[in-house]
A and B are shown apart, each in its own frame.
Chain A
């Protein structure tokens, strides 16, 4: 494996990456900045795992903004196949070509012709590889695909090349920064993990989360934001189907801001609770438990 070509814009210190991500509106934890730095320097893909809504996808976006690269995104889902992820032959065009040249041209000439790059429809992975400018490639929710698809990714992730049977090998012109995200809904294969750096993103600590909330809604009074973070932390401790994530904290902060909340009191909490808790049964649990812990009067029976 050849060392990736060094780019002029490649950051040289972890601090630079940290500052860069901050300027892109993303507050990285200590390990996040370091792994992002390593990813850029070593040219290795990063596998980002963690609960939903802790900013895995946001990290890719922020990294793209910071590095000044285009973000190419491949959203994975069950049944995703090569034709939608890698490339596809533009068969309509190929047919037209055959028909247009049907008379006169020899078969060999046409055949050579229709399997050229002109007839290739690039899909996200191909786009990322073939781009003139280096890009950030985000393969989102890789755990939603089948294992077969993972196997297909291996060539791309370790050697940054794609083999097309009719055309040969397409090598990366530039070296993309690759992020794979997973919600851990299934175990990924060892082969895939081996090729990646690993980053586990968890719910942030209270101070970090407060900083994030303040960054996204700076107008929210400090006291309210602090209380909000505290409540969210309490709610996460309950056994919920879907604990509130950072995304929900931010949404809640925005909602409180819109409502002009001066304080999170019982009424405010009850009326906006549905922003952070998204299951009916979870709602019951939260209204039962958190209200008490907040020192609020229990709901009248």
Chain B
């Protein structure tokens, strides 16, 4: 399945790289919304990465065939990535809820904690 440099390894590797880079850029932002988006991008990146750890095979089933010598792909990373997807989905839901609670209660979605109201007079 090679088409010049546009083979599947190149595409998957650059997808992981792009998602991770974008994710890291976003989690360095100051407000919770981009940070959560960045976390999601990072988890997508890591999921694709995990999927590729069993080597990339095209058109191969993840089962052994006992009647014929046919190519097969490693099924374990698929199980791992399924677990990782479920966990990251749940975690994203949790962080959205907590961030929403923080925003509604503080009326502010900055990720860093403001000084304690009582301190502000002293600090200024």
Q: Do A and B bind each other?
A: no
